[in-house]
Amino acid sequence: MTAPQPPATKLPKVGTTIFTVMSQLAMEHGAVNLGQGFPDFDVPARLVDALTRAMREGKNQYAPMTGLPVLRQAIADKTERCYGHRPHVDAEITVVSGASEAIFDAIAAVVRAGDEVIVLDPCYDCYEPAIDLAGGVAVHVALDPATFAPDWAAIRAAVTPKTRLLMINSPHNPSGAMFTSDDIAQLTALLRDTGIYLLSDEVYEHIVFDGARHESVLRYPELRERAFVVSSFGKTYHCTGWKVGYCIAPAALSAELRKVHQYNTFCTFTPAQAAFAEMIEAEPEHYETLGAFYEEKRDRFREQLLTTKLKPLPVPGGYFQLVDYSAVSDLDDVEFCRWLTVEKGVTAIPLSPFYAQPPKGQRLARLCFAKNEATLDAAIARLQKL
């Protein structure tokens, strides 16, 4: 008998993600891991209690494919409270197994073979593989290398008759940059009178600083009528391992997303859905004060970094701090982050994997400050020795 040949890969550009690689390296060398973006402090007590209670009450079987009605109701309440728009509970809200699933489902739902999808570099690494698997073509447009603001002239120039979808992310991973009201105006003008869909990755929506307002696409009727808006409970409630998120989209788009979702995961962890519904309604102050909670961490970490040779860049939102390491090393960012982990005991994430074509000579690394003070203090003590 002839053994089957190894399959021709559908994802030739994909290996193990940089996040997994760096976290494994951190574990092997006992480094303080400021690489992968997850908190190392406790989940809110009310949420844990609600999860435990839900499991003990027998809420352990399949949830409805679109999500528990009580959670979709809570999401509608929260969305109206935050953005002045109330999505239809049954037709426009879908609970999914993490924001990454929502992104995959949305792309698979609307992108056909040969369609072009505009992504703004640096962008999160799950975007392009989902586009490739759908048969689409990722069209990379660089954000400003200094401020990470969108270059609207370049984005407009990238639009062709084949453009099917534009993907945006604010607050932005990895830079923390945020869309302004002017960006929203530019985006609206760009998409007006086109058939282009929009995917708005808003997983850090509540982590915004300095009195700024998160310019959610859900605030703007002309945008939300063509948009998938993706949110993450894991980022908001410090429980990334629970892998629960949701997507809000107009009924017609939600119907197509659900066709993919139901044959991808079908439904999402039931007791967690019940717990999130309780948490949203009983403790809205959690998401309302989340920005202030992380702003204190950002400011403290920045002050500490100023005692090292690393130069911290501004962070308008999210829980990542970019640092310029030019004063420390001429290594490229991948080699620098490897050296920093192995030789100095602190793990960061290089920026180049977020790009199709990284800017030449860029010397930036990403540190996560969603950590308790002891973790950050231990990292700083090591970074001060650079």
Q: What is the pLDDT of residues 43-56, one digit of tens each?
A: 999 999 999 999 99
- Let me know if residue 216 belongs to a domain: yes
The 3 state secondary structure assigned to 203-233 is CCCCCECCCCCCCCHHHCHHHHCCEEEEEEH
Same domain, 260 and 309: no
CA atoms within 13 A on the CB side of 155: 23
Last residue within a domain, chosen from 286, 308, 334:
286
Model confidence at 79: pLDDT above 90 = yes
Same domain, 186 and 237: yes
How high is the mean pLDDT of the chain?
97
Across 328-353, average pLDDT = 97
- Let me know if residue 96 belongs to a domain: yes
CA 22, CA 20: separation in Å to the nearest integer?
6
Model confidence at 1: pLDDT above 80 = no
Last residue within a domain, chosen from 236, 263, 286:
286
Across 1-17, average pLDDT = 84
CA 142, CA 119: separation in Å to the nearest integer?
8
Say if residues 130 and 107 touch (Cβ distance below 8 Å): yes
pTM for the whole thing? 0.96
According to the model, what pLDDT value does residue 80 have?
98
| Residue 139, beta-bridge partner list | 118
The count of structural domains within the chain is: 2
Same domain, 343 and 238: no
Task: State both tokens at 172.
Answer: 């932005």
| pLDDT tens by residue, 359-373 | 999 999 999 999 999
Task: State both tokens at 347.
Answer: 């793990």
| Structural domain boundaries, residue 372 | 18-43+289-383
Same domain, 119 and 260: yes
Last residue within a domain, chosen from 266, 286, 306:
286
The single residue listed with the structure tokens 């999402």 is 268
Same domain, 151 and 231: yes
Same domain, 34 and 50: no
Task: State both tokens at 29.
Answer: 């060398």
- Let me know if residue 4 belongs to a domain: no
Model confidence at 242: pLDDT above 90 = yes
Model confidence at 215: pLDDT above 70 = yes
CA 123, CA 141: separation in Å to the nearest integer?
10
DSSP class per residue in 175-211: T-----HHHHHHHHHHHTTS--EEEEE-TTTT-B-TT
Confidence of residue 201 (pLDDT cuts 50, 70, 90): very high
Same domain, 293 and 196: no
